[in-house]
Copies of this chain bind each other. A is one copy, B any other.
Amino acid sequence: MTAAETLPTELTVGYRMTAAGASAQGTLPLSTLVADVIQVATDHANALGVGYSRLIEDGNSWVLSRLTIEVDRMPRINEDYSLTTWIEGFNRHFSERNFELRASGVTIGYMRTVWVAINVATRRPADLSGISHLQSTVSDRRCPIEPQRRIPSPPADMADVYEVIFRSSDIDFNRHVTTTRYMELAVDSLPLELYDRAYTRRFEIAFRHEARWGEAARVITAPVDDDAMDYVTSVALADGTQLCSVRHTLQPVQ
């Protein structure tokens, strides 16, 4: 990895949406989209020589810190879709990576992600100056959706709560609860019939603390604005430690 011109500043991966993997509404589930986003990010980081193998040489690993999704619609059953990723910004503490979602040849959404490198032993933020060549792969391409805003906490007096215990299939190779499970917890805080009449227009999630096998969490959801179908969700341990915060804005299906 020496000459900047040899590094691919974008990567596109194609997928096919199948009936077997569809949501109840016949569209790509939000958690599957995010699994794809993580996969494309991983593939691109590997192609740039800043993937898992390179970071672990310094005892570091990438952790997804923030994710923002904004879509006009989701891919439908039997539809081909693709994700294109590029790096918007990079400094010694974190990297910003964006994604374009296309289906049937048309752009239908964008995602923004923020990744922090942490030391795997101390779980503290790492210093990324060892991979400063990544700077040369920053793209001029802009992402047209707004960056993530501060996510308010659900007000305690008007919150719905359900409890979960994290079990074996919720745990990833880092021994923490998976990103897709957190996505599902937030999606699951709203009833199925809502998703029949409204789709996810914007979804913001901030990951705050890593949870482990056997821990019990409370999923707390409240409307920010009932009329606008705008909700905030917090997933927290019993001692109040917040695991993640979500803001989920839906829009009526036409």
A interface list, Cβ under 8 A from B: 18-26, 29, 31, 35, 38-39, 42, 52, 77, 162, 165, 167-173, 175, 184, 187-188, 190-192, 195, 213-214
Contacts and interface: CB of A to CB of B under 8 A. Distances in A.
A18 to B, nearest CB: 6
A85 to B, nearest CB: 14
Contact of A21 (B22, B26, B39, B162): B39
A184 B172 contact: no
A175 B24 CA distance: 6
A6 B77 CA distance: 27
- Which 9 A-B pairs have CB atoms at the shortest separation, nearest pair first? A167-B188, A169-B184, A24-B171, A192-B213, A22-B173, A20-B38, A168-B192, A169-B187, A168-B188
B167 A22 contact: no
Nearest to A22: B173
Contacts of A39: 18, 20-21
* Most B CB within 10 A of own CB, among A77, A168, A170, A187: A168
* Most B CB within 10 A of own CB, among A23, A77, A175, A192: A192
A24 B190 contact: no
A192 B177 CA distance: 12
14 contacts: A18-B39, A19-B42, A19-B173, A20-B39, A22-B173, A24-B175, A29-B169, A167-B188, A167-B192, A168-B191, A168-B195, A169-B188, A191-B214, A192-B213
A126 B38 CA distance: 41
A171 B23 contact: yes
* Most B CB within 10 A of own CB, among A25, A26, A167, A187: A167
A61 to B, nearest CB: 10
A218 to B, nearest CB: 14
Nearest to A21: B35
A42 B18 contact: yes
Contacts of A31: 169
A22 B171 CA distance: 9
Contact of A187 (B20, B24, B168): B168
